[in-house]
């Protein structure tokens, strides 16, 4: 596997898959169903081309953008009133320190064995982008996945429509089944709490809308913009303790 940011076989596979789906949809499915010379055919081809271009653009940014480096001068301030919680080691209770990188770890930062360095707000290392998904590219990775899902469903509708239109009139389409691959993400702390029969609330879980705002920004009109940047410094994050309760506790 190449170093982060380098073109690898999984990256070429993703680009090949995008190209294959684009060719099948625009040059086979649409002509078979609507025709590329009709207004409906041209409109659908233009919309799908825009979606495919958005997928490639956001994918390229997710591959090439640095996921976030820990500032060289970072030192946790345990007396900082703006940080309601501090992450410590499970053994000993000391502040989190990376022995391999020789510096303290900000909240939610982790050391990646593939990238060989600590990454801010590290989610996971993705082989399909040969890069970590972290603070700096989390938003663009999420937007890429959203564009890919929309384009996949759009392509599926056009391909099924083209296949049904191409069937002889005296034949009926057979039943078929498709599988959808879903990315699951688990939190070890939640799993351990549920295993012990305890309730667990992740301190960085602000709710669906606030979680999206923390990644994509407060301006909803810029959420799907491929050039949108991340927010915050990557060394401090809002927690559920920062959000005032809407109703007094019972």
Residues marked active site are found at 126
Rounded CA-CA distance 26/181 in Å is 24
DSSP state letter for 38? S
CB 183 within 8 A of CB 217: no
With CA atoms as reference, report the closest residue to 54 among 152, 131, 125.
Answer: 152
DSSP state letter for 112? E
Tokens of 119: 């990454």
Q: Which residue has 């049904």 as its token pair? A: 164
Q: Which residue has 């056009």 as its token pair? A: 158
Rounded CA-CA distance 149/165 in Å is 24
Q: Provide the sign of the torsion angle of the four alpha carbons 30, 33, 38, 44, taken in this order.
A: negative
Tokens of 238: 């809002």
């Amino acid at each position: 596997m190449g170093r982060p940011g380098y073109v690898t076989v999984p990256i070429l596979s993703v680009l090949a898959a995008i190209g294959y789906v684009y060719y099948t949809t625009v040059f086979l499915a649409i002509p078979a169903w609507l025709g590329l010379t009709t207004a409906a055919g041209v409109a659908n081809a233009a919309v799908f081309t825009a979606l495919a271009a958005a997928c490639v653009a956001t994918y390229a940014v997710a591959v090439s953008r640095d996921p976030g480096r820990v500032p060289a001068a970072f030192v946790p301030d345990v007396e900082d009133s703006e940080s309601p919680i501090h992450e410590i080691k499970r053994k000993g209770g000391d502040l989190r320190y990376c022995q391999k990188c020789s510096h303290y770890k900000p909240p939610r930062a982790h050391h990646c064995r593939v990238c060989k360095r600590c990454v801010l707000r590290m989610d996971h290392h993705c082989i399909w982008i040969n890069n970590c998904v972290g603070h700096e590219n989390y938003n663009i990775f999420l937007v890429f996945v959203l564009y890919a899902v929309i384009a996949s469903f759009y392509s599926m509708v056009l391909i099924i429509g083209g296949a049904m239109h191409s069937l002889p009139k005296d034949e009926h389409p057979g039943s078929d089944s498709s599988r959808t691959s879903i990315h699951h993400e688990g939190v070890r702390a939640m799993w351990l709490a549920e295993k012990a029969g305890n309730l667990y609330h992740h301190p960085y879980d602000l709710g669906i809308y606030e979680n999206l705002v923390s990644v994509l920004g407060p301006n909803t009109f810029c959420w799907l913009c491929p050039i949108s940047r991340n927010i915050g410094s990557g060394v401090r994050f809002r927690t559920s303790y920062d959000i005032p309760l809407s109703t007094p506790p019972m």
